[in-house]
Amino acid sequence: MEDQACPRCKTTKYRNPSLKLMVNICGHTLCENCVDLLFLKGSGVCPECQTPLRKVNFRLQMFEDSMVEKEVDIRKRVLRDYNKKEEDFATLREYNDYLEEVETIIYNLSNNIDEVETNKKIEQYRRDNKEQILKNKSKLGRSERELQELLELEKQRDDERRLELAREEIECKKKKIREKEALIDELMFSEGNAHLIVQTFATSMQSSVDNTSKVSPTPRATQFSTGIKFGKQGSQGFLPIPKDEGPTYTYVPIEQKTEGPPAPTWQQIISHGYINHVRAETKVEKAGGFKATIACLRALQEAMAGLYHTPSQQFN
């Protein structure tokens, strides 16, 4: 497919990605810069067909084929006058003949066939059906207004639903904050078992959620309350503080006697180029925790182990 270009200055979208092609009633395209230059005074002629044009009638080209733009413009202009509906005819055959006549007019104007006679025919039709044309235009205007009102009403309902959902989300967040604050206060000032308090609180919250999903929402409370008295839950009080008897585990690094020169460190494996001779790990191996440096270090440890070993017995 050939690149779109201005027929006058030959500028293409490949050379200028921001190129804007404009089209008028004649169907021939011009770039925005050429329109500003040729129609500086507001009017002029098309460089290709010499049709008198006005700058205000140029619009941005929507289709790649300029002839499609011309046909769309002519169709809009013709249908403003030929706006009869099926109910305006006595039979379906008369309505189909009317549609065929409209398409013939659009085809002739789009392909420059009998333009003078076709325009005279449109003008004569406009004079003969002036009242019917105005009546259908007003009818169409009422339908458009009704459709616009329905769209606005639907938009208003959508906005109200979004606001309601936002309010419910905010109330839910506030409720969770109040519940957390109430639990923290109970844990701070109660002498009961902390584990039992948390367990009772979680059970109460779960039953509250289940009840809320079954019944209608109740008025928002000003303070959190589960209906359960947390108070003292036994004479045992708090759990005893564990005594510090020192660390229960001490890490001792493993020392492996290799009877050979020490293996290089992780940094030396990379800096000294050992890793250059080892196959790099794949994505699957890396995800499993394996790295090429591990294989390289193991190979070096095995190679250096036992190099200084001296047998205690000599064989003849």
User: Under 8 Å CB-to-CB from 122, ≥6 apart: which residues?
Assistant: 78, 81, 105
Q: For 258-270, write each residue's pLDDT tens digit.
A: 788 888 887 888 8
User: Under 8 Å CB-to-CB from 31, ≥6 apart: which residues?
Assistant: 6, 8, 9, 11, 19, 20, 21, 22
301 alpha-carbon distance from chain centroid: 54
pLDDT for res 272: 84
Phi, psi of 276 (to 5 degrees): -65, -20
User: What one-character-per-residue DSSP string does 94-107 give?
Assistant: HHHHHHHHHHHHHH
Split at pLDDT 50, 70, 90, the class of 224 is: very low
Rounded Cα–Cα distance for residues 56 and 39 (Å): 9
Split at pLDDT 50, 70, 90, the class of 227 is: very low
pLDDT of residue 111 exceeding 80, the answer is yes
Rounded Cα–Cα distance for residues 253 and 263 (Å): 16
pLDDT for res 129: 85
Q: For 51-104, write each residue's pLDDT tens digit.
A: 888 888 788 877 767 677 778 878 888 888 888 888 888 888 888 888 898 888
Provide the 3-class DSSP secondary structure of residue 226.
Answer: coil
